């Protein structure tokens, strides 16, 4: 049976994977190379990167609000 702690761990791993994939992409790696290195389908990698960028944008927006 999957517990809440297991789900939390999976969510953290998903975020870390997305952040890693986004970093690899920003360093010029191709989608195919990233997918190969992470042993994931290319579509999953693209989705993970999109989520990482969304989290970064939300964090930046919260930081801006905190400044005012």
Predicted confidence at residue 67, as pLDDT, reads: 64
The model's pTM: 0.78
Domain count for the chain, please give it.
Answer: 1
Q: Looking at the domain assignment, is residue 30 inside a domain?
A: yes
Q: Looking at the domain assignment, is residue 6 inside a domain?
A: no
Q: Looking at the domain assignment, is residue 8 inside a domain?
A: no
Q: Is the pLDDT of residue 9 over 80?
A: no
Q: How far is CA 55 from the centre of its chain?
A: 8
Q: Looking at the domain assignment, is residue 58 inside a domain?
A: yes
Collapsing DSSP states into helix, strand and coil, what is residue 31? helix
Owning domain of residue 39: 17-66
The answer to whether residues 23 and 45 touch, using CB atoms and an 8 Å cutoff, is no
- 55 confidence band (pLDDT: 50, 70, 90): very high
Per residue in 35-52, pLDDT (tens digit) is 999 999 999 999 999 999
């Amino acid at each position: 049976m999957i517990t809440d702690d297991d789900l939390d761990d999976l969510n953290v791993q998903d975020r870390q994977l997305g952040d890693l994939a986004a970093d690899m992409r920003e360093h010029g790696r191709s989608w195919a190379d990233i997918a190969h290195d992470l042993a994931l389908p290319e579509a999953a990698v693209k989705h993970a990167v999109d989520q990482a960028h969304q989290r970064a944008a939300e964090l930046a927006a919260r930081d801006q609000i905190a400044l005012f």
